[in-house]
Copies of this chain bind each other. A is one copy, B any other.
């Protein structure tokens, strides 16, 4: 008879949409998060017999998210996730590991034409990238990944692609002036592990990584998307202390120059061209960049499409 073993397992309530308003007189502040909880521990019995004696209900993990938002506020996704992860592991005997994943949606204030806020309580969702964080705690140390997704960028020149390997299925023409466009998905890992030193300023850290990654994208004269990706990773590691590893997943969102020659039109990049923005297929470039000596800990499949 087949004997079966339980391998890696986790459970919890996913996608708790929590919004916290903080009032400072007539000026309000908003935090808008999507929080997912995944717990592991002594779970052999629930899988084999269905006994829930060790199972804190996912409904309880949801309640905890909302109650903690009120009790402690939300300084940043990272702070909030750390607090939740520590609570579940430290305060629940059968739980040995907690992983909290958070997406954060940014809001701007609705402005009047002269740039002052229309009111202290009116917001418009920014709509650009989604910030995210993953906190994992095993009862001893904390691992914090920060990241973002859905940040779409484009260089309308400064990108070439040539000199590539050819085989019998290669028909691609070389291109000395192409559009380079991608939607950045990335995670980076902080060295801080929850012991010893105080935690980083997560918001400041996020802004620095975002700024340096964007600038490296803009400023790199590119011969391949891999080169641009690596330059972005290097720039982040060089500019941001306390980060040891960063992984990018970047689709090459092809913009094909239209062939308008049947209509007697030239369509050269140098003159300002017309492009067809394609959906599928797309190139997909993924890589981890590490500080020398650092361990590679961000799972490759975490950024996969």
Taking A56-B165, A124-B151, A217-B110 as contacts, is the C-beta distance between A70 and B258 under 8 angstroms? yes
A36 to B305, CA, bound (A): 10
List 8 tightest A-B contacts by C-beta distance, closest first.
A50-B223, A7-B288, A122-B218, A9-B287, A50-B227, A127-B127, A118-B218, A127-B128
Give chain A interface residues in 269-290, CB to chain B under 8 Å.
Answer: 269-290
The chain B residue with its CB closest to the CB of A220 is: B50
The chain B residue with its CB closest to the CB of A276 is: B17
Whether the Cβ atoms of B107 and A124 lie closer than 8 Å is no
Q: How would residues 63 to 101 of chain A score, 1 for a CB under 8 Å from any chain B CB and 0 otherwise?
A: 110110111000000000000000000011010000000
Whether the Cβ atoms of B153 and A219 lie closer than 8 Å is no
Whether the Cβ atoms of B126 and A11 lie closer than 8 Å is no
Nearest CB of chain B from residue A150's CB, rounded to whole Å: 7
Whether the Cβ atoms of A163 and B282 lie closer than 8 Å is no
A211 to B112, CA, bound (A): 8
Q: How would residues 105 to 127 of chain A score, 1 for a CB under 8 Å from any chain B CB and 0 otherwise?
A: 00100101100001101111111
Whether the Cβ atoms of A296 and B8 lie closer than 8 Å is yes
Give chain A interface residues in 151-173, CB to chain B under 8 Å.
Answer: 151-158, 161-172
Q: How many copies does the complex hold?
A: 4
* A157 cross-chain contacts in B, Cβ below 8 A: 23, 28, 121
A55 to B13, CA, bound (A): 36
The answer to the question of A137 belonging to the interface, with a C-beta cut-off of 8 Å to chain B, is no
The answer to the question of A104 belonging to the interface, with a C-beta cut-off of 8 Å to chain B, is no
Nearest CB of chain B from residue A85's CB, rounded to whole Å: 15
* A219 cross-chain contacts in B, Cβ below 8 A: 118-119, 122
The answer to the question of A49 belonging to the interface, with a C-beta cut-off of 8 Å to chain B, is yes
Taking A13-B283, A281-B13 as contacts, is the C-beta distance between A265 and B67 under 8 angstroms? yes
Nearest CB of chain B from residue A160's CB, rounded to whole Å: 8
Whether the Cβ atoms of A55 and B165 lie closer than 8 Å is yes
Whether the Cβ atoms of B22 and A52 lie closer than 8 Å is no
* A16 cross-chain contacts in B, Cβ below 8 A: 276, 280-281
* A262 cross-chain contacts in B, Cβ below 8 A: 63, 171
Nearest CB of chain B from residue A293's CB, rounded to whole Å: 8
* A94 cross-chain contacts in B, Cβ below 8 A: 165
The answer to the question of A129 belonging to the interface, with a C-beta cut-off of 8 Å to chain B, is yes
Whether the Cβ atoms of B237 and A11 lie closer than 8 Å is no
* A11 cross-chain contacts in B, Cβ below 8 A: 226, 283-286
* A66 cross-chain contacts in B, Cβ below 8 A: 258, 260, 274, 276
Question: Can you list 19 pairs linking A and B with CB atoms under 8 Å apart?
Answer: A5-B291, A11-B284, A17-B277, A52-B165, A52-B224, A56-B170, A60-B170, A66-B274, A67-B260, A70-B265, A70-B274, A121-B157, A124-B214, A125-B154, A126-B127, A127-B129, A127-B150, A168-B263, A301-B302
